[in-house]
Structure 1
């Protein structure tokens, strides 16, 4: 299927979930991530902050856990059409962007280009790790500048079913997909 078709289909599937269903599925995704990757104190995680109105995976579960375990947390922020990375702490002040995304009030880019894990938003991911997001291309540009050792991990309520037919040469596939029932690897083994 084409990205536009998948984007429409999986946006509808996500909308069909109740708020309670979305939260319970988010909890299962969180548990699968922790049990599979076993993140440790001092590691660095780049993670998106969800737009809960769009029923994105509730990553606040992850963020709270990471901060409690002294795992460093970095979040994205779009400044002048560029995705920057900001480290967050329990007392970080957030404001809502024009897109309805909670973002740190600060515009100070951390300059980090190595993370142990980058947890990535998406609407769909196929069995090869190709992802469909909202179509803005921010994450492909972000992935280009990261160390090759970074584990790029998608989180989704749904397992892959259809192949993406219009993958572009600049698209950078994920290394893993975590769903409520599975952790799928697309070729990068755990070290």
Structure 2
């Protein structure tokens, strides 16, 4: 299927989830992430903050877990079309952006380019690790600017079904997908 078709289909499927279902499934995704990757104190994790109106995975659960286990947390903030990597702490203050995303008040980019994990937003991911996002390309540019050793991890309520037919040359596939049911690796034995 084409990205535009998948974007529409999975946006509708996500919106059909109740807030209780989304919270429960987000918790299961976090459990699978912890069980599979076993993040440790001192590691650096880049994680998106959910857009509630789009019923995204509730990564606030992830952020709370990471901060309470002394894992360094970085979140995106978009300023003038550029995605910055802002390190956050328990006391970090947030404001809602024009896109409805809670972002740190601070616009101070950490300058960090080495992350152990980058937890990536998406609407859909196929069985090759290709993803459909919102079409702005922020994460493809982020992936190009950070250490290639960072594990690129998508999180989704739904398992892959169809393949994405219109993958572009500059699209960077994920390394893993975490769902409420399983963790899929797209590394083809390179682990």
Matched, 1:154 2:191: no
Taking the aligned partners of 1:55 and 1:155, their CA distance within structure 2 comes to 13
1:45–1:73 contact (8 Å) kept in structure 2: yes
The offset of 1:190, in angstroms, is 8.3
Taking the aligned partners of 1:97 and 1:148, their CA distance within structure 2 comes to 29
Aligned twin of 2:15: 15
The offset of 1:51, in angstroms, is 1.1
Pick which of 107-116 and 181-190 moved more.
181-190
Aligned twin of 2:114: 114
Aligned twin of 1:27: 27
Q: What is the root-mean-square deviation in Å for CA atoms of aligned residues? A: 1.1
Aligned twin of 1:174: 174
Secondary structure of the corresponding residue to residue 140 of structure 2: helix
Could you give the per-residue CA deviations for residues 152-189 of structure 1, whole angstroms, max 9, x where no partner exists? 00000000000000000000000000000010000176
Taking the aligned partners of 1:188 and 1:161, their CA distance within structure 2 comes to 19
The offset of 1:54, in angstroms, is 1.2
The offset of 1:52, in angstroms, is 1.7
Distance 1:58 1:86, change over 3 A: same
Secondary structure of the corresponding residue to residue 161 of structure 1: coil
Could you give the per-residue CA deviations for residues 112-141 of structure 1, whole angstroms, max 9, x where no partner exists? 001000000000000000000011111001
Matched, 1:141 2:141: yes
The offset of 1:28, in angstroms, is 0.4
Aligned twin of 1:90: 90
Q: TM-score, normalised by structure 2?
A: 0.98
Aligned residues: 191
